Chains A and B, each alone.
Chain A
């Protein structure tokens, strides 16, 4: 089975609230993690990445948290907007990307309620 998975297939949040999307991984050798957003009919779009020597990284309205002890990754989106509606994938890689490719999870569908 996949080493990267998500706890919930669908997440519904109110516009303006914060969203938290979770991801579990099983490969202890993974040292690089990435979040992607895929809108309907489009290819995945890079959001943010984090390496295993960090436990938190912030971007514009997004924060990624990494807990290596329990092999858990989360993406927090602040003040969720209608444009945030999409499927969100976590992806992992051993040794920084490249020749091994990225291993994607199945995705979480984020639905924004007005």
Chain B
């Protein structure tokens, strides 16, 4: 059984650029959630995908968007990058949407210059 994997692990972008982060969920999990973790802070909920549809969203602007594919893998897209978008982006999969037992990947560290 493979765990949650994310790519890339690190990347550097400049302001105004766009980025796509990828996540493969744990085998058997149909739900994916994305979180943003700034340095020294707890993770903040961006959105959740269930059965390829956005199932819930936190307080993030529309330039944060996502996709979930039939194999339950997922992408996070961020347009018009800002300096404050620099953070660790965590993907978490779960067996179903209404659980707090999330299985996190190791994250993608994004630096915006």
A residues contacting B by CB (< 8 A) are 2, 4, 32-34, 41-46, 49, 89, 91, 93, 95-107
Partner of B43, one of A41, A45, A96, A104: A104
* Residues on B with beta carbons closer than 8 Å to the beta carbon of A93: 100
Q: Are B48 and A49 in contact (CB under 8 A)?
A: no
Q: Which residue of A lies closest to B41 (CB)?
A: A106
Instruction: Determine whether the beta carbon of B42 is less than 8 Å from that of A104.
Output: yes
- Give CA–CA (A42, B106) in the complex, Å: 5
Given contacts A41-B106, A43-B106, 14 further A-B contacts (CB under 8 A): A43-B104, A43-B107, A44-B90, A44-B102, A46-B101, A46-B102, A49-B101, A91-B42, A93-B100, A96-B100, A98-B99, A99-B97, A101-B46, A104-B42
Residues of B within 8 A of A98 (CB): 48, 55-56, 97-99
Instruction: Please report the C-alpha to C-alpha distance between residue A102 and residue B98 in the assembled complex, in whole angstroms.
Output: 11
Most buried by A among B42, B48, B90, B99: B42
Instruction: Pick 18 A–B contacts, CB within 8 A, sort by A.
Output: A33-B100, A43-B92, A43-B104, A43-B105, A43-B107, A46-B100, A46-B101, A46-B103, A97-B100, A98-B55, A99-B56, A101-B33, A101-B45, A101-B48, A102-B100, A104-B35, A104-B42, A107-B42
CB pair A106 B42 closer than 8 Å: yes
| 10 tightest A-B CB contacts, nearest first | A101-B45, A99-B56, A43-B104, A104-B42, A98-B98, A34-B100, A98-B97, A97-B100, A97-B99, A97-B98
Q: Which of B36-82 contact A (CB under 8 A)?
A: 40-48, 55-56, 58
CA distance A4 to B55 in the complex (A): 23
B107 nearest CB neighbor, chain A only: A43
Closest residue of chain B to A35, judged by CB? B100
Chain B positions within 8 Å of A104 at CB level: 35, 42-44
